[in-house]
């Protein structure tokens, strides 16, 4: 499961553990009742209940009254910040992103990381070049997308020229990097000209509670557009692998 992000990056699922059911089981440790099931339950026997005909699915039972399924408990846990059961599930992902994005990402100190190191292997010559549309976008409510104080109003022609300058500078910096490697400058110093637009790779791992906190902060309109694209890709993975948790999370944060 891989989602392409920006011009050379991606978010790829390595593995998940736990499930929506495991979260319920963990919460029910207090009563010893375990996971009861999703969807309406029969009040009499606890089996699935057919809401259309108002009867228990188990013919022998004949129950006619229903109780809500475990979605109700999941929502209760989330709404009341009873968050530890959400630590019983989680995911590990592989991410390829500009170093600039990793600078923001690594502020989430309670995730676990392993990143490619230019001390040991030269970083491939791949750099982030923002699209023209991205350069021209201004957020009205988002100070982080604002231009420097006193700057001119950017037009498309100047934005194109700036992009060309950026590509040229990337090329020049790569040239210095490669010459350093060629002449035997230690790899850990030859990397000095590597720009923050250079793509790097890492694995990041955390429990579901932590990932939801990450998505809350980084898919928000106040976060920089680039990390938001990565965060949205993480959110997509969570929505597919933990659909019931994602449902209560999305409603809760709407
Ligand atoms: C829009 C936006 C703008 C930002 N701008 C800046 C900026 O300009 N400069 C900047 O430096 N950072 C900035 N940050 C980073 C921000 O300050 C946080 O470091 C980052 O969002 C990680 O959040 P966190 O601390 O909750 O996550 P984690 O580090 O993963 O921590 C998770 C939780 O653990 C607890 N915790 C972890 N460490 C400690 C600790 N040492 N003491 C007490 N409790 C702890 C807290 O409850 C915390 O919420 C920005 C973040 C966002 C989303």
| 138 part of the active site | no
> Is 83 close to ligand 1, i.e. is its CB under 6 Å away?
no
Please state the atom number of ligand 1 nearest to the C-alpha of residue 224.
Answer: 1
* 3-class secondary structure per residue, 109-162: CCCEEEECCCCCCCCCCCECCCCHHHHHCCCCCCHHHCCCCCCCCCCHHHHHHH
Gap from CA of 178 to ligand 1 centroid (Å): 36
> Is 108 close to ligand 1, i.e. is its CB under 6 Å away?
yes
> Is 64 close to ligand 1, i.e. is its CB under 6 Å away?
no
Closest among 64, 97, 75, 108 to 206, alpha carbons compared: 108
Q: What is the mean pLDDT of the chain?
A: 93
Find which of 46-50, 95-99, 140-144, 146-150 is predicted with most confidence, using mean pLDDT: 95-99
Q: If pLDDT is split at 50, 70 and 90, which confidence band does 142 have? A: low
Helix (H, G, I), strand (E, B), or coil: what is residue 242? coil
> Is 167 close to ligand 1, i.e. is its CB under 6 Å away?
no
Q: Give phi and psi for 190, each to the nearest 5.
A: -60, -25
> Is 221 close to ligand 1, i.e. is its CB under 6 Å away?
no
State the Cα–Cα distance between residues 205 and 111, nearest whole angstrom: 6
Lowest mean pLDDT among 30-39, 98-107, 208-217: 30-39
Write the pLDDT tens digit of every residue in 175-186. Answer: 999 999 999 999
Write the pLDDT tens digit of every residue in 185-208. Answer: 999 999 999 999 999 999 999 999
Gap from CA of 34 to ligand 1 centroid (Å): 35
Q: If pLDDT is split at 50, 70 and 90, which confidence band does 253 have? A: low
Q: If pLDDT is split at 50, 70 and 90, which confidence band does 140 have? A: low
Write the pLDDT tens digit of every residue in 208-238. Answer: 999 999 999 999 999 999 999 999 999 999 9
Residue nearest to atom 2 of ligand 1 (CA): 223
Residue nearest to atom 33 of ligand 1 (CA): 110
Gap from CA of 217 to ligand 1 centroid (Å): 9
């Amino acid at each position: 499961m891989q989602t392409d992000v920006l011009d050379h990056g991606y978010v790829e699922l390595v593995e998940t553990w736990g499930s929506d059911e495991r979260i319920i089981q963990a919460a029910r440790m207090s009563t010893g009742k375990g996971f009861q099931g999703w969807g309406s339950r029969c009040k009499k026997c606890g089996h699935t209940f057919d809401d259309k005909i108002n009867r228990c699915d188990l013919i022998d039972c004949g129950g006619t009254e229903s109780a809500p399924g475990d979605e109700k408990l999941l929502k209760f846990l989330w709404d009341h910040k009873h968050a530890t059961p959400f630590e019983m599930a989680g995911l590990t992902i592989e991410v390829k992103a500009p170093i600039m994005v990793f600078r923001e990402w690594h502020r989430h100190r309670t995730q676990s990381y392993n990143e490619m190191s230019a001390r040991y292997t030269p970083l491939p010559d791949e750099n982030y070049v923002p699209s023209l549309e991205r350069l021209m976008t201004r957020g009205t409510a988002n100070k982080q997308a604002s231009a420097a104080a006193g700057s001119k109003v950017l037009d498309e022609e100047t934005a194109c020229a700036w992009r060309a300058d950026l590509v040229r500078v990337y090329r020049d910096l790569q040239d210095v990097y490669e010459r350093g490697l060629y002449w035997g400058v230690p790899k850990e110093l030859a990397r000095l000209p590597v720009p923050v637009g250079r793509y790097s790779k890492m694995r990041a791992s955390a429990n579901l509670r932590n990932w939801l906190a990450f998505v809350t902060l980084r898919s928000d309109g106040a976060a920089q557009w680039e990390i938001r694209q990565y965060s949205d890709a993480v959110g997509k993975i969570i929505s597919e692998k933990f659909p019931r948790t994602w449902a209560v999370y999305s409603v809760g944060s709407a």
